[in-house]
Amino acid sequence: MILSLANQLSFQQKTYVLLLPFVVLNLFYIEQTNDASLQILLFGGLSLVIIRLNQAKFRYWIAYLLYGYIALHNGHSSALTMLHLELFLLLALLLLYNDWLMVVHNLLAGFVNVVIILAFLTAGTWHGFMSSAPMAFAGH
C-alpha cells in the first residue's frame, strides 16, 4: 500500500516520533549515572519543554532543544565520548519534518556545543556534570 500525502504525520506527531528513541536511550544512561535524580530532572525537563513548544512556529527552537539530548548525554560521559550514533539518528529523524533549516539549526547547535566543550577541555576545567565514568558501551 502506498502512503498518500494526505496520510502524513502532523508536526506534533513527528516530534513525538523523534522523542521516542531519545527517551529509550535515556533509560540506558540512568543506569550509568551516580545521580539518577539529576538525570531524570534534566532529561525530563528538556522533554517537557519540547512537548510544550511542540508547534511549527517553534520549529527552530525545537531543533536546538533536540540537540540538548546529545549535549546532556555527552556531558554525562564527561565529554569522553561523542555519541555519533545519536547525532546521526537525530539528523536522520529531523528529515521527517521536511525542513532543511531545522537540520541547519541543529548542526549549528552541535557546532556551538563542540566549541564550548573543547574550550573547557583545553582549559582543563571540564569534568562533566553527571558522572566521571565514561559509558562502557559507547566503544571509545
Q: What average pLDDT does this structure show over 57-71? A: 92
119 to 18, 19, 31, 78, 136: CA distances (angstroms)? 30, 29, 29, 14, 25
Element (H, E) at 108: helix 100-123
pLDDT above 70 as % of the chain: 75
Look at residue 16 in the predicted model and tell me its pLDDT. 93
* 2-17 pLDDT, tens digit each: 545 567 889 999 999 9
Locate the domains of the chain by residue range: 10-125
pLDDT band at 37 (very low <50, low <70, confident <90, very high): confident
pTM of the full predicted structure?
A: 0.76
Q: How far is CA 59 from CA 101, 102, 108, 133, in A?
A: 9, 7, 14, 34
